[in-house]
């Protein structure tokens, strides 16, 4: 029997038990209020092989990731393209020129905050454009489009029609971003992950599985 450390998050709205493996390898079990702890533990044990594979996968990916130091010449991605950081005068606005990401001379922690603000702005602009594009095809328009910082999801669609995207997604290739946009817009039709939902996704983006696999393999690398 494999011993797995996990936290239980209960909700009166949930109907089933499910497991979420966070990017930092934290294991959370989502469960309805009425499900006894013994049943939850049994569920986790039944899924232990899957959990271990996911934890090992995350660990292997993390081993390849090097934290940003925000130094001259470091690589930063935008829409799947890599740019080398070029640090200039303190008042220089952040912008892209050829293959360079131009940024002001700041302390690393302050430069990180400035770059996150810049990335979020780019994300808001791009997600709005792509939502407009695919909304016309799907026939559903969101009530609002915004960006957030999520730990373990790329987007969310609320029942009131608001859609939010993880700003870090702006570092991914455009075709991967399009998949997440289509995914969330399709939730305006089916607010679940039923077969009918995936049918609508596939009708709009036939090769969505490639983008989904890309995020599973590379999503943890989209960080500042």
Tokens of 195: 């077969």
User: Which pLDDT belongs to residue 21?
Assistant: 85
Domain assignment of residue 205, given as a range: 75-221
Mean pLDDT, rounded, for 145-165: 93
Please check whether residues 85 and 41 belong to one and the same domain: no
**Is residue 224 within 8 Å of 119, Cβ to Cβ?**
yes
Q: Is residue 69 part of a domain?
A: no
- Higher per-residue pLDDT: 133 or 219: 133
Total domains present in the chain: 2
Determine how β-strand 162-166 pairs with β-strand 144-148.
Answer: parallel
The predicted structure's pLDDT at residue 1: 56
Q: For residue 158, what is the domain's CATH number?
A: 3.30.2010.10
Same-domain pairing of 36 and 110: no
Count of alpha carbons within 13 angstroms of residue 114, beta-carbon side: 19
Rounded to an integer, what distance in angstroms lies between the CA atom of residue 79 and that of residue 172? 5
Q: pLDDT digit string (tens) for 16-42? A: 999 988 777 889 999 999 999 999 999
Examine the domain organization and report whether 55 and 88 are in the same domain.
no
* Residues 186 and 108 both lie in one domain: yes
Are residues 109 and 150 both part of a single domain?
yes
Nearest by Cα to 219 from 146, 164, 166, 183: 166
Residues 179, 80, single domain; the answer is yes
Q: Are residue 91 and residue 174 in the same domain, yes or no?
A: yes
Task: Tell me the pLDDT band of 151, cut-offs 50, 70 and 90.
Answer: confident
Which residue, of 64, 96, 113, is where some domain finishes?
Answer: 64
Residue 140 pLDDT exceeds 70: yes
Mean predicted confidence (pLDDT) in 194-203: 96
Residues 204 and 143 in one domain: yes
In a domain, residue 1? The reply is no
65 — pLDDT class (breaks 50, 70, 90): confident
Structure tokens at 77: 């991605």
Q: What is the mean pLDDT of residues 74-103?
A: 96
In a domain, 22, yes or no: yes
- Alpha carbon of residue 89 to chain centroid: 33
58 and 89 share one domain:
no
| 91 and 131 both lie in a single domain | yes
Q: Are residues 92 and 50 in the same domain?
A: no
Does some domain include residue 2?
no
Q: Return mean pLDDT, the chain.
A: 92
Residue 56: is it exposed, middle or buried by C-beta count within 10 angstroms (0-12/13-18/19+)?
exposed
Same domain, 113 and 212: yes
Would you call 203 helix, strand, or coil by DSSP? Answer: helix
59 found inside a domain:
yes
């Amino acid at each position: 029997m494999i011993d797995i450390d996990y936290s239980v998050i209960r909700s009166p709205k949930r109907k089933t038990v499910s497991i979420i493996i966070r990017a930092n390898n934290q294991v959370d079990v989502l469960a309805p209020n009425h499900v006894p702890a013994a049943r939850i533990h049994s569920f986790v044990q039944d899924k232990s092989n899957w959990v271990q594979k996911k934890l090992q996968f995350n660990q292997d990916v993390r081993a390849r990731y090097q934290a940003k130091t925000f130094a001259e010449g470091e690589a930063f991605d935008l829409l799947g393209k890599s740019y080398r950081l070029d640090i200039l005068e303190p008042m220089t606005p952040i912008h892209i020129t050829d293959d360079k990401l131009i940024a002001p001379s700041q302390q690393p922690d302050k430069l990180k905050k400035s770059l996150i603000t810049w990335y979020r702005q780019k994300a808001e602009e791009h997600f709005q454009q792509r939502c407009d594009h695919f909304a016309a095809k799907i026939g559903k328009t969101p009530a609002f489009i915004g960006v957030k910082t999520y730990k373990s999801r790329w987007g969310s669609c609320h029942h009131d029609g608001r859609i939010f995207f993880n700003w870090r997604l702006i570092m991914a290739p455009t075709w991967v971003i399009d998949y997440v946009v289509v995914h969330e817009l399709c939730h305006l039709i089916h607010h679940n992950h039923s077969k009918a939902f995936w049918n609508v996704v596939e009708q709009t983006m036939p090769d969505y599985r490639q983008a989904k696999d890309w995020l599973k393999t590379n999503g943890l690398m989209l960080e500042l």
